Amino acid sequence: MELTVKLQVFEGPLDLLLYLLEKNKVNIYDIPIVEITEQYMEYIREMKRQDLEVLSEFLVMAATLVDIKSRMLLPSNPDSEEEEEDPRAELVQQLLEYKMYKCMAYELKDRQMDAGRVMYKKPTIPEEVRAYEPPVDIHELISDITLSRLHEIFESIMKKQQDKIDPLRSKFGKIEKEEVSLEDKMEDLKKYAAGHRHFSFRGLLTAQSSKVEVIVTFLAILELMKMGTIRISQEHIFDDIQIDSKVAA
């Protein structure tokens, strides 16, 4: 009765060599070429009976192993001053590169399998957020004005405040003044807007007594614009900006 032997499938001759080295637990840098060649040839003999299509590249490696084996069996020349190169060196380099790429392939395969188990949730927006509408359209509020124009007016007002400084009195001691809060200035502006339906942006800033008040007033105007309490407009470029109050008198 004929005995059928099922051979392990290898991806190439280097894969088979690497398997034989690991099976025999030998150092890849010190390959026992005689033993490994005999095991390799035994595998080739079994392949001849089963799969002739992939045999050619394995035969090439078999010839390489036999060549290395024959060179290692030759006696070394004792009179040679040059250090003889190990016949296995090139094969060892090929095995090391193959092993590195094989490990990388396993790593990529593991990552692919891990990625296949990851589930992603489609983005959803709560109905409360979807239904929200801002109370004031900011673009409508500043449709006829630009931030650069506001900046120019602000800079000119700050320059006037600087010009008001007395060069002599400014060297005297300072009397600390209570800081002006943004909330208080917003309340003051609401009261002012309730009694003045239309007033000048420049005039409002010019009326402030210090740089701090100018800055806080400017910020308060921007906040009230966002809240929809006031609206600013400008008929022509370089004209003064007008503020329209929406506060009930």
Rg (CA), the chain: 44
pLDDT band at 4 (very low <50, low <70, confident <90, very high): very low
Strand partners, 198: 244
Judge contact between 217 and 205, C-beta under 8 A.
Answer: yes
Q: How far is CA 239 from CA 140, 155, 156, 208, 230, in A?
A: 19, 15, 13, 20, 19
Domains and CATH numbers, the chain: 13-73+86-116 (no CATH), 138-163+180-245 (1.10.10.580)
Structure confidence at residue 227 (pLDDT)? 84
Tell me the pLDDT tens digit for each residue of 18-61.
888 888 888 878 888 888 888 888 887 777 655 555 677 777 88
Residue 99 has pLDDT above 50, yes or no: yes
Tell me the pLDDT tens digit for each residue of 138-177.
666 565 566 666 777 777 777 766 665 555 555 555 555 5
User: How far from the centroid of its chain's Cα atoms is residue 125's Cα?
Assistant: 25
Strand partners, 233: 242
Strand partners, 242: 200, 233
Q: How far apart are alpha carbons 28 and 92 in whole angstroms?
A: 7
Structure confidence at residue 161 (pLDDT)? 65
Residue 5 has pLDDT above 50, yes or no: no
233 Cβ contact partners less than 8 Å away, ≥ 6 residues apart: 144, 145, 241, 242, 244
